[in-house]
Structure 1
């Protein structure tokens, strides 16, 4: 289980001396020992104050908000969030950076507003929060975004930094080169907007790729569909996104899966399954009847995929 650490508030600074942002350095503690940032954890500390301020501004944080921050690092973004929010829950896997973050707010008016969760955010149960703001380790981008979008209760918005190409995939539209399963799955559950590009030199150490910041707002209420069914369908469609659906649904592995699911559906619903049942012909007939056989996943929009799922399910074809 992740450890929850709270910062102990020491004597606050005298009145008239407001808390100042301490620019993060590469030394840990007063001894001057340098922090070696761990690339395995995707540790690239955002250092440009103008970019940090812009990210916080895009979060539209209210004084009553609880903010979830993932990967706070040395706290450059954290201290700005603490100025705006009622509470910040910071998830960090590296105990060295946790020590830096605790030291940074210790003795400040913000110490009591910060909770630190030590551990892997992908394995942790997310707390309640209103807004998520994060400079994510890029290697966890995809699993984290779906953990976030499937989290309940729904949050208001998230302002997240990703590798540039990943961000472009999130906002890609039908027909775009980068349009993929990630695009359609994210856009099913949320409204996604590209906010800004961030160059390599805004980080220490500089990453090998360019970055972008996006805003994600979950759809409320969420779409009334079985998400496992949906994901199973789009997974099949995007394996060969440039081929027609008619061709994509003819592969042996797909037909075996659909045949097994169909027979299970018949058994559960007490529907007789014909002795000579042919799943290949069944799927072909559905696709042709509803004009999906010549369509290609690369150019299908959200409504078309929802329509395809509906007609398949109505005929007893399931993907979960």
Structure 2
């Protein structure tokens, strides 16, 4: 179905939507709404070409600016909105889509509610919770187009050796190919945030390495990056309380010497994976089962 088949959606004016909502965005509640038509019109098109748009999830619908565009391209849209005023507005503004079974509005916090069985997610995320929301979505293996603070987006997409490369880069790229597809100025929002923003496309794929214990791998990466200015050797020795290692000295003894001399910012994700496997094999007295109860 094309936009011309859905004349009731896809062209609503952002400022008019905000007026009809009866409440402006509140920066204290992390509410910054897109009002630049040119930007919002492009966002759904950033999904991968092969993405399934039969059920698109939006987190933080606000007055419905992006919701309107998503309804023009997706068969079904589910919006999670924690503000009761905006949740009620979305149900009223898009009553026809709700009645037709094409729009579901869930009132609640995206970190707490049960997520639906969606096929892709397109969202202007609340910045204060963007990291937690992103890492709730990433393990689900769905295409994502998400708005972040530009600094966060750049760190997510950074490669080994870049100044911005860090724990966030390794963790995000464990799940997906990460691309910054558009920088968005603060003037595109109302009220304007103090920072610049960026749209990120995350295309799910299996990593080109294997890890036996994903949680340990991610905890190990987190631990090493707390000592990013030290060598990997010293990072392993100094962070057992974070990584959970029982015998960091044994890991240092078993690890590749060239890798031990490097600093975290110059270690690629696949190398971190190999190092984490060595750490689990030699540094855990329980054979790598850090969390037998799943807690």
Q: Same fold (TM over 0.5)?
A: yes
Call closer, same or farther: CA 1:177–1:255 in 2, change over 3 Å: closer
Q: Is the 8 A contact 1:241 1:297 kept in 2?
A: yes
1:249 lines up with 2:239 in the alignment:
no
Question: How much does 1:220 deviate?
Answer: 4.3
How many pairs are equivalent? 278
> Secondary structure, in 3 states, of the residue corresponding to 2:233?
helix
Question: How much does 1:316 deviate?
Answer: 4.6
1:232 lines up with 2:216 in the alignment:
no
User: Relative to total residues, which structure has the larger helix share, 1 or 2?
Assistant: 2
How far, CA to CA, are the matches of 1:242 and 1:292 in structure 2? 14
The alignment yields a C-alpha RMSD, in angstroms, of 2.7
Aligned to 1:52: 40
Aligned to 2:272: 305
> Secondary structure, in 3 states, of the residue corresponding to 2:93?
helix
Q: Is the 8 A contact 1:91 1:118 kept in 2?
A: yes
Aligned to 2:179: 193
How far, CA to CA, are the matches of 1:211 and 1:43 in structure 2? 14
| Greater CA drift, 85-94 or 62-71 | 62-71
> Secondary structure, in 3 states, of the residue corresponding to 2:77?
strand
Q: Is the 8 A contact 1:67 1:129 kept in 2?
A: yes
Within 5 A, what are the aligned runs for 1:88-127?
88-107=77-96, 111-127=100-116
Unaligned runs of 5+ residues in structure 1 are: 1-15, 260-278
Question: How much does 1:222 deviate?
Answer: 9.2
Question: How much does 1:258 deviate?
Answer: 2.1
How far, CA to CA, are the matches of 1:250 and 1:229 in structure 2? 16
Question: How much does 1:281 deviate?
Answer: 3.8
How far, CA to CA, are the matches of 1:169 and 1:87 in structure 2? 32
The two structures have a TM-score, normalised by structure 1, of 0.79
Which structure: larger Rg? Answer: 1
Which of 180, 196, 199 aligns to 1:213? It is 199
| Greater CA drift, 116-125 or 104-113 | 104-113
Aligned to 1:65: 54
How far, CA to CA, are the matches of 1:17 and 1:123 in structure 2? 33
1:84 lines up with 2:92 in the alignment:
no
Q: Is the 8 A contact 1:89 1:117 kept in 2?
A: yes
1:23 lines up with 2:13 in the alignment:
yes
Call closer, same or farther: CA 1:199–1:124 in 2, change over 3 Å: same
Q: Is the 8 A contact 1:258 1:319 kept in 2?
A: no
> Secondary structure, in 3 states, of the residue corresponding to 2:28?
helix
Per-residue CA distance 1:1-57 (angstroms, 9 max, x = gap) = xxxxxxxxxxxxxxx99326332334346xxxx414232331111011111111011
Question: How much does 1:223 deviate?
Answer: 6.2
